[in-house]
Amino acid sequence: MTQARNKSLAKSLHSLIDRPIVLVGLMGCGKSSVGKVIAPLLNLGFFDSDTEIESAAGMSIAEIFENYGEAEFRRLELREISTLLDHQPAQIISVGGGAFVQPDCHDIIKAKGLSIWLQAQPETLVSRMSNIASRPLLKDKDPLHVLRQLSEQRDPYFAKADLIVNTDGLELSDSASKVFDHLMR
């Protein structure tokens, strides 16, 4: 697509977006990266729920897990995602890999947002991650093994997303274009 055509399509699409677009999927699938690319194309704000959680808690996700456990993290996650979904109708939100699996988060995302699963194979996810040590679920473990397990457990939940975009083996620009194309349909 030409850049002029993209801008024209984005302007048309922006006027049709009446709820937040929520990017879901396993860690490493590109939720934050793709969100940062497509948000300005659509003239929308971008928010990363993990960043919002860290800001509200005054510590990293890893520190929350270490100091307070996963249950407290999930409570904070639900609160911040709820706040983001109520913030403004049109925006792009990237949520953590486990958010869409949590019943309360899943329900609020489905009720208030347009969910898009960025689908990719565990091998692709591992190859995309440069910060494995900062991910609590991967700490001191074989990342590929963990991601295969998480994929098996979480994919049935992700499959309930409003749109499914397979980004396996794609570079960031191609993944973002594919998401953009799906939104244009």
For residues 26-30, average pLDDT? 91
Q: Tens digit of pLDDT for each residue in 44-79? A: 999 999 999 999 999 998 899 999 998 999 999 999
Backbone φ and ψ of 165, nearest 5°: -120, 115
Q: Which DSSP symbol is given to 29? A: S
Which is more confidently placed, 16 or 177? 177
pLDDT at residue 22 tops 90: yes
For the chain, the straight-line distance linking the first and the last C-alpha, in angstroms and rounded, comes to 15
Cα separation of 16 and 11, whole Å? 9
pLDDT band at 126 (very low <50, low <70, confident <90, very high): confident
Mean pLDDT, to the nearest integer, of 121-126?
A: 91
If you average pLDDT over every residue of the chain, what do you get?
Answer: 88
Residue written as token pair 């980004």: 167
For residue 110, count CB atoms less than 10 angstroms from its CB and return exposed for 0-12, middle for 13-18, buried for 19 or more. middle
- With a CB cutoff of 8 Å and minimum separation 6, the contacts of 15 are none
